[in-house]
């Protein structure tokens, strides 16, 4: 009898608390684990992977909320509280309707009440990374979206053990760490709204096997080095969203979907599936991205659709047969209001608290 090992992913980068304000002023403020790394790992856990975020969460309310939310989906928190601990980043996402009725979102890193900057990302230390290295054995993927010496050390160690290194740059940079990340990563994915291209991705000295640029409503394009030499760019049209409530997080769903289908076997696994497997995995990622647009928040659908219904809906989307995501609300808001740690309760927290009192009274 052959045993089946659950694939394992480690991730280091932006793991934050998302405070989501919907277009309806009567709705509560919702709070979920977020950030690119936080979303990708939570989605992969939802898809059946063992996911291990690497972060410096402390005991503040935002950290507690992020840990609670991630644990709900089976994310492993062994390395979520690396020393020295720090406040978890908080990001405010406001969803508004444009004149054409289409949703638009805006991010803020400042408290809307006192105006102070909300906690920002802080990378783990080299000392913390040294303790994590032995745990990387057996990992299929190492994901990173923020750079530091400690993160690159872990990525290199994971790569030496056969893991596929997936890098999503958060912005343009020409520093030494960026160059090292590009040389090290096997998959480099970025959005055209942030970067028009990245120098050196397919250089002879880089490990890159696949470069993906997402193009919003136009889909994505990719090139690879799975055969001899670097391929030409191939473009894939997007899967139209059956319902458009919010586009936030769709890129993270695309990344997680691709990883889930292409990277179970790490570096060797990506090479084995070849060009047809890469295209199929990217298409699956596009289906997840399209499905996600039907819900508010970067991962709102995970709280509205049961896993068995999710799988059916994604299959239908891939086949072009699905009309609109449907589901019931499983959870809409945090159990407690989360606000800025630098000031008294903010309007965000007050609004969430008031909603909670109304719900309790009902």
pLDDT at 66 over 70: yes
pLDDT tens figures, 328-354 = 544 544 444 556 665 655 455 455 444
User: Residue 339: its pLDDT value, please?
Assistant: 60
Whole-number pLDDT of residue 334: 45
pTM over 0.85: yes
Do the bridges between strand 220-224 and strand 234-236 make them parallel or antiparallel, or are there none, so unpaired? antiparallel
Choose among 11, 160, 33, 25: nearest CA to 82.
11
Backbone torsion region of residue 238, taken as left when φ is above 0, otherwise alpha when ψ lies between -120 and 50, otherwise beta = beta
Place of tokens 């970025």: 190
Task: Give the residue among 244, 224, 195, 198 at the shortest CA–CA distance from 23.
Answer: 244
- The closest alpha carbon to 12, from 147, 177, 189, belongs to 147
- Model confidence at 362, pLDDT cuts 50, 70, 90, reads very low
Q: How confident is the model at residue 356 (pLDDT cuts 50, 70, 90)?
A: very low
**CATH number for position 144:** 3.40.1190.20
In a domain, 168, yes or no: yes
Q: Is the pLDDT confidence value at 179 over 50? A: yes
Q: Which helix (H) or strand (E) holds 32?
A: strand 30-34
Residue found under tokens 């939802």: 46
Positive/negative CA dihedral, 141, 145, 147, 151: negative
Give 176 or 115, the one with higher predicted confidence: 176
Q: What is the pLDDT confidence band of residue 35, given thresholds at 50, 70 and 90?
A: very high
Beta bridge partner(s), residue 231: none
pLDDT for position 22: 80
In this predicted structure, the answer to whether residue 98 has a pLDDT above a threshold of 70 is yes
In a domain, 5, yes or no: no
The mean-pLDDT minimum among 100-104, 160-164, 235-239, 309-313 falls in 100-104
Report the pLDDT averaged over residues 170-179: 80
Residue scoring higher pLDDT (2 or 60)? 60
Q: How far apart are CA 279 and CA 38, in angstroms?
A: 25
pLDDT for residue 194 is more than 80:
no
Q: Taking residues 178-198, what's their average pLDDT?
A: 88
**Phi-psi region at 163: left, alpha or beta (left = phi > 0; alpha = psi -120 to 50):** beta
Q: What is the residue range of 155's domain? A: 10-326
How far is 216 from 301, CA to CA, in rounded Å? 19
179 part of a folded domain: yes
Give the whole-angstrom CA distance, residue 35 versus residue 327. 24
Please list the residues that pair with 21 across neighbouring strands: 94
Res 58: pLDDT = 96
For residue 339, tell me if it sits in a domain. Answer: no
**Quick check: 360 pLDDT over 50?**
no
Q: Which of 8-17, 191-200, 227-236 has the lowest mean pLDDT?
A: 191-200
Flag whether 334 is in a domain.
no
| Band (1; pLDDT cuts 50, 70, 90) | very low
Residue 268: CB partners within 8 Å, gap ≥ 6? 162
DSSP β-bridge partners for residue 81: 56
Contact 286, 239 (CB under 8 A): yes
**Closest C-alpha to 103, from 170, 192, 224, 21:** 21
- Indicate the SS3 state at residue 143: strand
Closest residue by Cα to residue 337 from 80, 24, 31, 17: 31
The helix or strand, by DSSP H or E, that contains position 38, with its residue range, turns out to be: helix 36-46
Q: Kindly state whether residue 332 falls inside one of the protein's structural domains.
A: no
Where do the H-state alpha helices sit in 54-190? 61-72, 126-132, 149-160, 176-184
Maximum Cα–Cα distance across the chain: 66
Does residue 106 fall inside a structural domain? Answer: yes
Count of structural domains within the chain: 1
Q: Is residue 102 part of a domain?
A: yes
What pLDDT, on a 0 to 100 scale, did the predictor assign at position 281?
Answer: 98
């Amino acid at each position: 009898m052959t045993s089946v090992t659950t694939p394992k992913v480690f991730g280091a980068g932006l793991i934050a608390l998302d405070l989501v304000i919907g277009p309806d002023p009567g709705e509560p403020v919702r709070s979920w684990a977020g950030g690119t790394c936080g979303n990708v790992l939570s989605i992969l856990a939802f898809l059946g992977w063992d996911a291990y975020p690497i972060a410096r969460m402390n005991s503040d309310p935002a950290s507690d909320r992020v840990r609670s939310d991630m644990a709900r989906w089976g994310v492993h928190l062994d390395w979520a509280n690396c020393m020295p601990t720090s406040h978890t980043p908080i990001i405010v996402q406001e969803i508004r309707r444009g004149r054409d009725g289409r949703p638009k979102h805006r991010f803020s890193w400042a408290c809307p009440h006192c105006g102070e900057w909300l906690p920002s990302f802080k990378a783990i230390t080299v000392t913390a990374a040294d303790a994590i290295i032995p745990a990387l054995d057996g990992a299929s993927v190492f994901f990173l979206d923020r750079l530091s010496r400690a993160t690159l050390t872990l990525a290199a160690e994971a790569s030496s053990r056969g893991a596929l290194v997936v890098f999503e740059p958060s912005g343009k940079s020409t520093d030494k760490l960026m160059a090292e990340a590009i040389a090290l990563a096997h998959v480099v994915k970025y959005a055209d709204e942030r970067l028009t291209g990245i120098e050196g991705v397919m250089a002879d000295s880089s490990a890159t096997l696949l470069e993906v640029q997402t193009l919003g409503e136009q889909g994505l394009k990719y090139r690879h080095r799975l055969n001899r030499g670097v391929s030409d760019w191939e473009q894939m049209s997007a899967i139209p969203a059956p319902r458009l409530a919010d586009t936030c997080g769709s890129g993270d769903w695309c990344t997680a979907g691709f990883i889930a289908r292409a990277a179970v076997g790490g570096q060797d696994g990506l090479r084995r599936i070849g060009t047809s497997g890469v295209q199929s995995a990217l298409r699956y990622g596009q289906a997840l991205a399209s499905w996600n647009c039907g819900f508010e928040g970067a991962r709102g659908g995970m709280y509205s659709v049961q896993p068995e219904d999710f799988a059916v809906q994604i299959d239908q989307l891939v086949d072009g047969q699905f009309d609109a995501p449907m589901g019931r609300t499983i959870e809409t808001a945090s159990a407690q209001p989360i606000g800025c740690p630098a000031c008294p309760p903010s309007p965000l927290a007050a609004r969430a608290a008031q909603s909670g009192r109304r719900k309790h009274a009902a």
